[in-house]
Amino acid sequence: MLRVGASRLARAAAARSAGSRLHLRFKTTDTSGALGIKEALGAKIPAAIADVKAVREAYGDEQLGTCTVTQAYGGMRSVKAMTYETSLLDAEEGIRFRGLTLPECQAQLPRAAGGAEPLPEGIFWLLLTGDVPTDAQVHALREEFASRSTLPAEAVAVIDALPTDMHPMTQLNAGVLALQPQSAMAAAYAKGVHKSTYWEYCLDDALTLLAQLPEVAARIYRRSFHDGSMTPSAAGELDMGANYARMMGFEDPKFDELMRLYLTIHADHEGGNVSAHAVRLVGSALSDPFLSFSGGLAGLAGPLHGLANQEVLRWLMEMKESLGTTKMTKEALTGLVWDVLNAGKVVPGFGHAVLRKTDPRYTCQREFALKHMPDDEMFRMVSMLYEVVPAVLTEQGKVKNPYPNVDAHSGVLLRHYGLTEARYYTVMFGVSRAIGTLASLVWDRALGLPIERPKSVTTGWIKAHFEGKK
């Protein structure tokens, strides 16, 4: 790695000193003296900047990939045209978080006492710093979140004024925007701080947003589907997953475990998906993390992205209704799946834009179900569809990946524990996706990535360009 010049480091140090006078709200260490999350990240940034500089100098003129006309019209599918540090999606093995597979994350990240699933605070630390945190570091981060978790009264008033029949994702986006006046980054930019310190204020906002988002989401759930009463937040006493569950009104320790798993596996999925890319795109204009994440939520609310888990459960319930008194067998389900395809519809929850095998996130959920709810009727249907649908789609021959994705399973797990309101499911996806997209956004500012501005052309330009070569 290249060294960062002394003068540059001096300027950055001076800027950081000036920035400290803006009273950033960080606890620097835990009681054991271990590095806090800001210091752990700050120690890595100079080397990462040098690494990016070295890569750009060595390979800057190399072509990452060729964009065809088909790709330009087809949503830029698979065009290698961006970097994203926190996760990487492989077509064969699925997602890796900072190089770790999901099973490796489950094995290596800190867990709750007596639990088997990773703590959400741990996955944020991993994605942000690239290191597996210690138990002490996760505890310190939980305390950091707790110190920031109280919702501003003005934001509560905004959320409580929203119509309860408004889609929960619209409410969540409104709630996030209502939190924005707290933005340290917006205030720092207005004061003219040096750009080398933007990441510090971006991290400040990310921690505040992550600390407050579960309560915003839980408040929306209680208002929309119950009487509005809510268990007070126990941030600091409970981990993010368990506290979120408790605020929604769930007390089963197994549901706590499900929340930890859910928040972990949905946290990140490299940078090209709509929600992650929207956060980066908006953030590239130096919009603060609250505004940037709002853009990501708007994309996540689409039926081709995060709303898909809601669609899958609706379809499964329709399948169950279609069976009626008919015994659930592979033959009966095969006929129903062919009915869906012959009607010109798609089978929700199967296939993926990148993956060419079963989504490891599906597998994690399946293993959870086999352990905790093997006799659940809807789980039995999902399991049988796992045997049926890939064979049908392969026979049809129109899809590259006939295997289930993450959305094929999550609704059934949530429904088993009593969270039956499918309109709410994408809100939980949003709480999880904040973990990865905000970690990545901090790195965007640390590396000084510029505003995104790809070149577009018209259909007429394409015709003239290629016809001129004939």
Q: Integer distance in angstroms from the first to the last C-alpha of the chain?
A: 47
Taking the C-alpha atoms of residue 93 and residue 358, their distance in angstroms, rounded to an integer, is: 9
The total number of residues shown for the chain amounts to 470
Give residue 470's pLDDT: 64
Give residue 30's pLDDT: 52
Indicate the pTM of the whole model: 0.88
**Assigned token pair, 182:** 């707290």
User: Distances from the Cα of 273 to the Cαs of 179, 214, 344, in angstroms?
Assistant: 25, 23, 26
Domains of the chain and any CATH numbers: 308-416 (1.10.230.10)
Give residue 1's pLDDT: 36
- Listed as ranges, residues in the chain with pLDDT below 70 are 1-34, 470
Give residue 324's pLDDT: 86
Taking the C-alpha atoms of residue 329 and residue 102, their distance in angstroms, rounded to an integer, is: 32
Give residue 34's pLDDT: 64
Q: What are phi and psi of 124, to 5 degrees?
A: -65, -45
Taking the C-alpha atoms of residue 296 and residue 348, their distance in angstroms, rounded to an integer, is: 22
Give residue 94's pLDDT: 86
Give residue 462's pLDDT: 87
Taking the C-alpha atoms of residue 135 and residue 43, their distance in angstroms, rounded to an integer, is: 20
Give residue 314's pLDDT: 87
User: Would you say 264 and 124 are in contact if contact means Cβ atoms under 8 Å apart?
Assistant: no
**Assigned token pair, 417:** 């524990």
User: Distances from the Cα of 200 to the Cαs of 15, 183, 193, 286, 288, in angstroms?
Assistant: 11, 12, 11, 13, 12
Nearest by Cα to 20 from 200, 146, 147, 287: 200
Nearest by Cα to 1 from 46, 54, 77, 37: 54
Residues with catalytic annotation?
305, 352, 407
Taking the C-alpha atoms of residue 235 and residue 237, their distance in angstroms, rounded to an integer, is: 5
Give residue 25's pLDDT: 63
**Assigned token pair, 117:** 């699933």
Taking the C-alpha atoms of residue 467 and residue 79, their distance in angstroms, rounded to an integer, is: 24
